[in-house]
Amino acid sequence: MENQSSGGIIWVVAALLVIGGGIYLWQDEGATYQAPESEEFQPVELTQDWQSSDLGFALKLPDGFQISERPDGILVVKESTEAEPEPRPEFQVQVTQGNLADFKVGRGITLLSDEEVIINGAKARKFVITADSLPAGTECDFYSFENRGMIYEFSEYQCVDSPIFEAVLNTFAIVWEK
Distance CA 156, CA 134 (A): 13
pTM over 0.75: no
Instruction: Provide the number of structural domains found in the chain.
Output: 2
Among 26-30, 56-60, 76-80, 152-156, the minimum mean pLDDT is found in 26-30
**Nearest CA among 1, 12, 169, 177 for reference residue 76:** 169
Clarify whether residues 24 and 52 are in a common domain: no
Domain that holds residue 146: 46-174
Residues 103 and 125 in one domain: yes
pLDDT in tens, 109-153: 899 999 999 998 889 999 999 999 888 889 999 999 998 889 999
Give the tens place of pLDDT for each residue, 8-53: 566 555 555 545 555 554 554 444 434 444 445 567 898 999 999 8
Kindly state whether residues 56 and 96 are assigned to the same domain: yes
Q: Confirm whether 40 is domain-assigned.
A: no
Which CATH number is 63's domain given? 3.40.1000.10
Q: Which long-range contacts (CB under 8 A, 24 or more apart) does 140-148 make?
A: 143/117, 143/119, 143/169, 144/100, 144/103, 145/119, 145/172, 145/174, 146/98, 146/99, 146/100, 147/56, 147/174, 148/56, 148/176
